[in-house]
Amino acid sequence: MESYIQISKINDFLYSPKSLYLHSVYEGFDQSAYHETPQKAGKINHEAIESGKYSTAKRYLQGLAVYSEKYNLGGKIDIYDMETKSLIERKTRVKKIHQGYRFQLYAQMFALREAGYVVEKLYIHSLEDNKRYSIPLPAEKEIKQFQTTLRKMRSCDPMKEIRKNDLCEISIYRHLSF
């Protein structure tokens, strides 16, 4: 059986296959060797979720590990509000809603639904400016795009597909030669 895809890696892959590859290579290293200020801020922002300290209200599931058997995906959600049936992905600063953000939410939603939760609303929450962006539930077209992305991730040969692109020039790995 093939290994599962980490939900957080979907956004990395869509950002750049090279970035995802390098992220995987450096995953075992001390993060201070390659993380820059935005990554450090993101890690700090997720600590409240990881420790379950976002809220003490029982209506919120925080940092729950989820798995989708259908898509062979696993990871953690940020927040699921059981009263409003809303799934919320928190980002440090949102300048644009990237496809990777949407697909990350879709993956979490599919996993939660497989676990028996009802998800009716999706949100991306920008922590720096406290803005919340409503993300429509995926229609058939978006589900097919999501599935295509997963197939591409599973068939990606880093040595063949990794090429220099503009996004990698601004990534945390830009200083590394390849």
* Residue 15 identity: Y
Structure tokens given for 57: 């209200």
Domain boundaries, the chain: 5-169
Q: 51: number of CA atoms within 13 Å, CB side?
A: 8
Asked whether the predicted pLDDT for residue 43 surpasses 70, the reply is: no
- φ, ψ of residue 50 to 5 degrees: the values are -60, -35
Estimate the share of the chain in helix, then strand, then coil, as percent rounded to the nearest 5. Answer: 45, 20, 40
pTM score = 0.77
Which comes out higher in pLDDT, residue 61 or 157? 61
3-17, 66-80, 125-139, 162-176: segment of lowest average pLDDT:
162-176
> Residue range 13-38: average pLDDT?
64
C-alpha 96/C-alpha 94 separation (Å) is 6
Asked whether the predicted pLDDT for residue 37 surpasses 60, the reply is: no
Asked whether the predicted pLDDT for residue 55 surpasses 50, the reply is: yes
Looking at domain 5-169, its CATH class is alpha beta
Nearest one of 113, 98, 80 to 149, comparing CA atoms: 98
Mean pLDDT (the chain, rounded): 81
Residues whose CB falls within 8 Å of the CB of residue 127, separated by 6 or more in sequence, listed in order: 45, 90, 91, 92, 93
What pLDDT score was predicted for residue 42? 46
pLDDT digits 0-9 by tens, 128-149: 999 999 999 999 999 999 999 9
What pLDDT score was predicted for residue 16? 75
